[in-house]
Amino acid sequence: MIVLLLIGFAFVAIWELPALVRNRWWREIILFMVLWSAGFMLSVMISLGITLPPISTIINKAVTGMFGW
């Protein structure tokens, strides 16, 4: 599974990065790398079975907690 993820993410990087580097679009590269690594890390965590915090549920609890629903 992780191998598949590696291939997939590498594919994405290969698709986008060369053009960016060639044009020296540093800002874009930084943002891309930030998002890309976040995505990669999170996917690896999912495939390893680590449960990520369920965001909507957390928001739900926070909001309804405030109003005592």
Partner 1 sequence: MFLEKGRISNFQLSVLIIGFVLGSSVIISPGGEGAGHDAWIACALGLMEGLLIAWIFTALTKLFKDKTLIEINSLVYGKILGNGISLLFIGYLFHLSALVLTNYGQFFKLQIYPATPKTLSLLLLMLVCASTVNRGIEVLARCSLILVPIIILVVFTDTLLLIPHIDLNNLMPVLDAPIGKLLLASHGAASFPFAETVAFLMVLAFVDKPEKGPAAVSRGLLIAGFILIMAVARNVAVLGQMAEITNYPTYLVAQVIDIGDILTRLHVLVAISLITMGFIKISVLFYGTVLGLAQVFNLRSYRPIILPVGILMVILALTNVGNTQEMFDFVNKGYPIYAIPFQIGIPLITLVVAKLRRLPQKGELDA
Q: Which residues bind partner 1 (CB under 8 A)?
A: 9, 12, 15-16, 19-20, 25, 27-29, 31-32, 35-36, 38-39, 42-43, 46, 51-57, 59-64, 67, 69
Place of tokens 């790398």: 33
Decide whether 2 or 31 has the Cβ nearer to partner 1. Answer: 31
Decide whether 3 or 69 has the Cβ nearer to partner 1. Answer: 69
Distances (CA, A) of 29 to 4, 5, 14, 42: 24, 21, 12, 20
Identify whether the C-beta of residue 2 lies closer than 8 Å to the C-beta of residue 47. Answer: yes
Decide whether 6 or 38 has the Cβ nearer to partner 1. Answer: 38
